[in-house]
Every structure is written in structure tokens, then in C-alpha cells.
Chains A and B, each alone.
Chain A
Amino acid sequence: MADVLRVSVRELRVVVERVLIGAGLPRGCVPAAVDLVLYAELLGGDALAFLRAQLPALERADPARVVLLRDGPGTIVLDAAGQPSLLAGPTALDLACAQARAQGAGVAVVLDPLGLPLLRALPTLAARRGLLGFVAIAAGRAPGDGPGHPDSRVVAPCPAADRPDASAVAALAAPGAAGAMLASIGGDTGLADLLSAVARQVAAAGDRSAGASEGHCVLVCVDLGVQTPRPEAPACTAIGPAHAATEPPAGLAGRPHGGLEDGRAVAAADHLLARALRAGIAIPSDLWWSLFERGNETLSPASERSRMDAGPPPGEVD
């Protein structure tokens, strides 16, 4: 068995951020991409291994090639054109969330993204925004496959740790917010119908992605009316203890405040992150240190000149 070590959420963020910066991803795209990798890793591992494997492609990435083909009012279609899902995923999430907030539900199809498995994290990221998210992923054809649809299936309707409680499912099954989404994708009512409708979307997207080698994904976001609390300007009378404003995540039962973690807040639904904060994240040692070294390539080499760029000369002690 490979040697495994536990890293903190903070360490994982730092290393992934450096790796992505070093790979040349536009700086403005990096934080959202880090989140995608983090949550994909928390959902079942392998995201870091995948990231390492995708580094050559990331170095060739061109965000301009990710094109919004259609922006609602029906299904949103984003052509990733073989570009990394780390670029297309956050864009799809933004688009689906915006539509969900406006119409009750949003559906975004991402065609031909490189690195489909990372998109499994999108429902969890939607949950952090107070939305119910589903994702269906259809892998691309293997070389030599004949024509026809790739295998279409809903692989991550909702991560187990973020599965909505009974009331959320009931709300989904009822007419209302979910109904708008079901209507938009031709569904009926109920969770099973919804998933079937999502699967039909996958198949339909498969038609559009006939030439797509990487496959595609469908992201569905539903606004159940549970908005993520927006930060308010603290006023003397409005300001309250963090525990009054932020429900403790179940993974941190009894914790009376939202707290901090390297500048990140724990959303109420974010059980995965809470668990990782408590227990760390298990990563194969060799994988971790290889990414660590890769990230360190963004650090500047040591030199006498460089040493003068910080505090007093090393020999000057207090």
C-alpha cells in the first residue's frame, strides 16, 4: 500500500494554487479552479492525481476557446472545445446558478471539457451557494469506438455527504421552484422524473457533442429558496456573534461559530469541508510531494540579490 499522509485543507489549497499558477492558468481563474480540485478530491479522491496527469494540457490551455454557445432562457450550452474543465466548470456553475436564481432552475451543458471527473464537484459547489445541484457526466468515446452516443448516466446527482434532507427532496418533488426547472427540461414532477429528465438532457447533449472526444456534462441547479446569506455591512445593532449568523456544519457539531480556515468560511451545507478540516485529507505521499515540488517552481531561486529584497541582511541580528 502506498504511503499516505494527511494534509490540511490550507496546504492543499496552497499547493494546488501554485501548481495552477505555474501551469499558466490566468490568475483570475485560479481560485475557482482550486475550489473545484479541492471538492473533487474531497468527494472521492483522485483529483490531485488527475491534476498531475493533466498538467501538460493545462500548460497549453487557452480560456478564449471556451465559448458560450447559448445562454438561456432554456438550456445553457458551453463549448469547452477540449479545454480543461478547471476553466469551463466554474463558468458553467456561474451560468447555471444565475439562471436558477432568476428562474428557479438552471441547466448548463458543457461540451467536450478535458477532465470530466473534476466536474463531479459542481453540485457541492452549488450547495455552498444555497442551491441544489445535480451533475450528469457522459464520458467520451474511447479511440476506435463507433458512432453513437457515449454512455449517458447520472454519476453524481448529489454527493452523499451533501444529500438533501427529506424536506429538500419533498420541495424538489413539489410544484414550485423545481417545477420551473422540470418544465424547462420537459420533465414531470418528482426526483426520479427529474433525474430522468437530466439523463435525457445528457443524451440530447450527446447529439450536440457528436464530435466531442472528451464527452460532456450536464449541470442542473435548483433554487429552493434557500439563499446563501449575503455578507452584511456590520453595524452596531446588526452585528452578531458569528454563531448567530452561521449555522455550525454538522461535521463540526457544537461549534458555536463559523470560524476561519485560511480565509475560507464553512457554509452550512458544507459537510465535506468540515470533515476535511477536522481530519485532514489523505493523499498518497509520492503524489503530494510531487505536486508540492511542482508548486515550488513558482518560488524564486535563492540568490544574494534576492535576499536583499526582504528584511535586514541575514548577518544583522537583533
Chain B
Amino acid sequence: MTVAPTRSPDDLLIPRHLGALKPTRLSFARSLTSRMLHQRWQIERLRFALDERGRGEALYRVHAPGWVLDFVVFGQELVGDDERTDRIIGRRWDMYAALLEGEATAERVEQTRRELPKLYAGRAAPGTLVWARSNRSARLFEHVVASLSAGRQPDVERVVEVGYLMRNTGLDANGTFGTRSFLAYEPDHPVRGPYHGQMLAAYLMREYGYDLAEHVARSRSRRAVPLHPAIRRYLGVGNSSGLGLVLWVNAHPRLVDRWLELRERALSMIKAKEIRGDPAQQRQLLGWLDRYTTYKSHDRTRYEHFTSAATIARDLVQIRDRLLAFAEPHAAGGAAPPTWAAFCAALPAHLDRESLETFHALLIEVYPEVADALDPYHVAPDALDIVPEMPVGELCALLHTEYRWALRLDMAAPNARHYFWYKSVEAEEPRRGQRDGVVPGVDLALDLPSDAQRLDADLAAVPERTSVAAFLARFPAHRWTVQRLQGLAGLSYHSPRMNMLDRAFVPAHVIRLVNASFYGLEKTQDVSERWVRGIIHHGAPLPEEIAGGTTDDWMYPPAPQV
């Protein structure tokens, strides 16, 4: 297949550009939903023993081909505001839950009830995939309950403004707290895609939130009505992510590279296609542009460092207009048929980066077979191999070729080392503080520019033919830097071009890369530079629709009509 060139890492890996990437079919929330729809999973509520305030226990069962997964929920009610926090430092929640392989035995339920509240001091029951916890939305839950109990639907404006009833505060899996290691999932495991277990837990959290709201409303009034299906479908699960995702990106460069590579590869394959090749696809793209423009026109989210919804909506209208003109058959004969690459190259330079990435995401939507064919490749090795026999001359050349950006940064400049990164004893929450000594701690930042510069200086002190092994015997402190350098050699998209210590560095861009592009969250909003809110499963099909195999085009939902 013909492909257009992929983008330069020096462009794509600028944090602001990474943060502009949008969810696509390749994002994990999307790929899980596609799998559920394709296989027509069934979700049933087996038990719902909660009191009038939502305290008690519930059990949901997921039927996937050859597998049963149980989601056991413990409902609580946080009364005082001092107990409620969106951050992982919370120690009490409105609900906590576990996603278990197989049917939940009384013993495993009891172990979950006892151990989960201990978090890091707790041990998950055997066969636990995910530990989850969430709170009721402080802005919407009570409004929904009050409305339903009064016999009416909640105010759609408020529903659209908030976007969720339950707010996730933690989804832990892959070995954490003794949960099953992702690598050990069986070949036919239903959640063997990256983060599919966490995304399924979030989906069930969403379902529980609806059942909880209706239950509490019914407890208050016999006039209570159920939540309208259009609102249920519209709402997702609230989420906030912080600095930990920047540390995650640093720790998993090969996965970051693979996931970005797949996205860029899909785009380049699509961009090589002729625009006039299939009029139906043109119409489909116009439809997506219209839907997204409407979606953004309803977006009430306030963005700080990110582009406003109005700007994106305005740009998309421009792109739509140009598309209509561009797709017309050229009057002059002999010209090469226009491709998507040519179309994108001809877009006005003043278009916002997020608008362009939105268009890219919609383009991928029009050619689902391209993304779907690449999706299985998301599961990739992540280890970094050292090459001890490499001569240091070769290592030096590699350093100067692939880390030129890091060698050029002035780490002695004022504010270049303004911050240090650490984890707090409070739920191990990652934090970023000024390097003034007020908060003591171990610096967890990846100072790639300084590491590269120090390595460069020491490499110059040994003959070029010296082996890396001998070099490291003399300079052992460089070992991890060398391993990272060699293990990532030849890969394009592994390391954001950033100095995360710098006073001007905005972590929200990198956090958003993971939240939006990788996980698939919508309406990702930055708060205080280092905190990103968003919505998981925004507009996702309801269980009955999944069981029925509804079409997989549920994204960018319009405001619900009730």
C-alpha cells in the first residue's frame, strides 16, 4: 500500500503538539467498545442491595465470549465535603469496586471489601483485574436525583455542561495491589487490549451511577421516574489525571513510540488515498465534520492552555468549505488526482493545531479498516536492550543524531531547573514542586537533556573504539541513559521534546496525550497546567445497545433530546 510520509518527530513530539492529538478508533476506550459491540457482550445486574442513601453492595456480570467477569461494588455515601476529593489522595469514596475474573465468590467479595480501602497496604483477591473507585459528581448527581424523584428529567443544559454522574478517582490494574499482571492474560481474554480492563471497569462504573441515581430517587419518592435513555447514553464517567502520566510516558518510551507510530501510520496510509476515490467517503467525512462542529458548539468546557471549542468549530467550517471545493473534479486534465495529503498540505497555515488534529481524527474515522487492521499491534514489548559491544564512537553518533534537541537545550539557563518531581506519601500522588528545599523528596524527573549532555561529555573522554561495556565499567552512572539510548535507537516517537524541570513546561499537554489520544477521553480540559479533566465513554452505547450490536459510530454525541 502507498503511504504518505509520517511526520517528523521534531514536530510531533513537541508537548503542545502531542496534547493536540485527539481520540481516534485506535484509542483504548474506543477499541474496547468496538470489541464489545462486535462480540455483543451482555451485561446484567445480579444484585443491588443498597439502602435509601446508596450504601450497600451491588453485583454486575459481564458475559463475553467464553468468559464471565464480575464487577462487585460497595456503595458508600460521603457526607462531609472534607472527605471528598477528585484526587487519588482520597481514602473514602462514594463507591469502590473490583472487576474479577469469573464469578465472584463470597470469599473474594469479602476480601475486596476488606482490602481495597487499604489501597497500597491491601491485597487484591485472586483473579482481580481492576480495583476501581469513584465519587458522585458534586455538580450533577444530586440534581439528577432530585429531578427524577420529582418525576421529571434533569435539566439538559446541566447534563451537557457536566457530562457525567460518577467521577473516577482510581483504576488500578496490571499488578498493582496484587491484581493480575497484564502480560499473563490468556490469549482469548476479553480485556487483553491495553487498558481494556480499566476501561471496562469505567463503563460499569457509569452503569452503576445510573442505577444508583434511580435507586436513590425511588427511595425518596414514589413519583420518581427513570433516567431517560438519551441522557444515559450521553453521559460518561468523569476523570482527572495528574502528573503521574508524565512519569508514565517517561517510563514507557517504547509503548509511547508504538502507539504514536500506529496512529501516524494509519494517518499516512489514509493520506495517500485519493480524495475522489470514493464519493461515499467524502459524504461521510462531511457528515463527521458537521457532527463534530455541532458537538463543539455545545461544548461548555473552559480551556486554559488548550484551544477553545469555538476556535475548533470555526476552523472545521473552513476545512469543510475547502473540502467541497477541493474535491471537485479538476478542470485541467492530466493533473494527478488529489490525495488527502495534498489537501492537508494546502490547508491554511493559520488553522489551529487542534483543529488540524481533529480533522485527522475524523479522517481516520472514514477509513475504519485502516485503524482496525493496526489495532492488534498496540500490544508490544517495552523492554530496552543494552548493546554492550557497541563502540562508543557509534554510541556518540547515535546521541548526536537522535538527541540533538536535548544536547542543544541550555540547562544552565535561569529557570531551567526550577521544578523537581516527587511522590507524596499520600497515596503516592506524583507532585511537582519548586526546587527550594521546602518540600523534601527524591527527584523522579527524567532529566533527559542533562543526562544526554553529561553522557556526551564523558564519551569524549574515551577512545572511539572502546566498547560500551568498558565505558560503563568506568562510568557506571550512565548505564540507564545508555540503555535507553540504545534500546530506542531507530524509533521515532518515544520521547517528548521537553525539559520537564523548566519553569515554562506545561505538563497538561503530555497528560492530555495519554488521556485523549491513548485512552480516548473526550472534552479533556486543563486545570492549573498540571491537571487534566475529561470524560470516559462519552456517548458510548448502553448495555442493551451493545448486546444488540449497534453500529460503532457513537462518538461526539449531540445534546440529548428528551
| Residues of A participating in the B interface, judged by any CB pair closer than 8 Å | 5-11, 21-22, 26-32, 63, 66, 68, 71, 78, 87, 90-91, 94-95, 97-99, 101-102, 129, 228, 230-234, 236, 239-242, 245-246, 252, 254-267, 274, 277-278, 280, 292, 296, 298-303, 305-307, 309-312, 314-318
Which of B321-329, B524-532, B536-544 lies on the face that meets chain A? B524-532
Cβ-defined contact, B183 with A252, below 8 A: yes
Residues of A close to B386: CB separation below 8 A: 94
A300 close to B423 (CB less than 8 A): yes
A129 touching B181 in the complex, CB below 8 Å, given contacts A66-B476, A236-B268? no
Q: Determine the chain A residues whose CB is within 8 A of the CB of B23 once the complex forms.
A: none
Q: Determine the residue in chain A with the shortest Cβ distance to B241.
A: A311
Report how far A121 CA is from B123 CA in the complex, Å. Answer: 28
Across the interface, A318 reaches (CB within 8 A) one of B238, B426, B429, B470, namely: B238
Question: Which residues of chain A are near B243, meaning CB under 8 Å?
Answer: 310
A263 near B251 (CB under 8 angstroms)? yes
CB distance from A255 to the nearest CB of B (A): 6
B46 at the interface (CB under 8 A from A): no
A299-B428, A318-B533 known; A98-B388 Cβ under 8 A: yes
Question: Do A90 and B379 touch (CB < 8 A)?
Answer: no
A263 and chain B: residue at smallest CB distance: B382
B106 within 8 A of A: no
Bound complex: CA A240 to CA B379 (Å): 11
Are B182 and A312 neighbours in the complex by a CB distance under 8 Å? no
**Is B178 an interface residue when CB atoms closer than 8 A count as contact?**
yes
- How far apart are B388's CB and chain A's nearest CB, in angstroms? 4
- With contacts A94-B468, A94-B469, A265-B383 taken as known, whether A260 is within 8 angstroms of B426 at the C-beta atoms is no
Using A71-B470, A71-B473, A318-B137 as known contacts, say yes or no to A10 and B174 having CB atoms under 8 A apart.
yes
In angstroms, Cα B442 to Cα A33, docked, is: 18
The residues of B with any CB-CB pair to A shorter than 8 Å are 1, 3, 81-82, 84-87, 89, 120, 123, 135, 137-139, 167, 174-176, 178-179, 181-187, 194, 238, 240, 242-243, 251-252, 254-255, 258, 261-262, 265, 268-269, 376-377, 379-383, 385-389, 422-426, 428-433, 438-442, 467-470, 472-474, 476-481, 483, 487-492, 527-528, 530-531, 533
A101 to chain B, nearest CB (A): 4
B178 to chain A, nearest CB (A): 6
Closest Cβ neighbor of A300 among chain B residues: B441
Given contacts A239-B265, A311-B87, A261 and B175 within 8 Å (CB-CB): yes
Provide the residues of chain A in CB contact with B265, threshold 8 Å: 234, 236, 239
Q: A95-B473, A234-B491 are in contact. List 4 more A-B contacts (CB 8 A).
A: A9-B181, A263-B255, A263-B382, A318-B137
CB closest residue in chain A, given B3: A236
A-B contact pairs, 30 of them (CB 8 A): A5-B123, A8-B174, A28-B481, A29-B479, A68-B473, A68-B474, A71-B473, A91-B469, A95-B473, A97-B469, A98-B388, A102-B467, A239-B377, A240-B377, A242-B381, A252-B184, A255-B187, A256-B187, A264-B383, A299-B428, A301-B425, A302-B425, A306-B426, A306-B433, A310-B243, A310-B431, A311-B87, A311-B527, A312-B531, A317-B84
User: Would A68 and B433 count as touching, CB distance under 8 A?
Assistant: no
Check if A305 sits within 8 Å of B472, measured CB to CB: no
Q: Which chain B residues border A29 with CB–CB below 8 Å? A: 476-477, 479-480
C-alpha gap A108/B95 in the complex (Å): 56
A83 to chain B, nearest CB (A): 10
Q: A312-B527, A318-B240 are in contact. Are A231 and B254 (CB under 8 A)?
A: yes
B residues within 8 A CB of A28?
Answer: 476-481
In the complex, the answer to whether A310 meets B469 with C-beta atoms within 8 Å is: no
Contacts of B194 in A (CB 8 A): 260
**In the complex, chain B residues whose CB is within 8 Å of the CB of A265:** 381-383
B440 touches A300 (CB 8 A): yes
Q: Can you name the residue of chain A whose Cβ is closest to the Cβ of B380? A: A242
Q: Which residues of chain B come closer than 8 Å to A305, judged between CB atoms?
A: 433, 438-439
Could you say which residues of chain A place their CB within 8 Å of the CB of B478?
28
Q: Which residues of the other chain, B, contact A10 by a CB distance below 8 angstroms?
A: 174-176, 181
- Whether B184 contacts A278 by the Cβ 8 Å rule is yes
Cα of A246 to Cα of B505 in the assembled complex, Å? 38
Please indicate which of the listed interface residues A21, A87, A263 has the most CB atoms of chain B within 10 Å of its own CB.
A263
Kindly provide the distance from the CB of B238 to the nearest chain A CB, expressed in whole angstroms: 6
- Give the CA-CA distance A299 to B120 in the complex, in Å: 13
Q: How far is the CB of A21 from chain B (nearest CB, A)?
A: 6
The reply to whether A296 and B174 form a contact with Cβ atoms under 8 Å apart is: no
In the complex, what residues of A have CB within 8 A of residue B262's CB?
Answer: 234
A contact residues around B120 at 8 Å (CB): 292
Cα A66 to Cα B473 in complex, Å, equals 8
> In the complex, which residue of chain A has the Cβ closest to the Cβ of B455?
A28
Contact B138 A318 (CB under 8 A): yes
Q: In the bound complex, how far is the Cα of B483 from the Cα of A94, in angstroms?
A: 11
Set A7, A236, A298, A311: member contacting B269, Cβ < 8 A: A236
Which residues from A are CB-within-8-Å of B84? 317
Closest to A95 in B: B469
Complex CA gap A257/B185 in Å reads 10
A260 touches B380 (CB 8 A): yes
Residue from the set A10, A91, A311 with the largest chain B CB neighbour count within 10 Å: A311
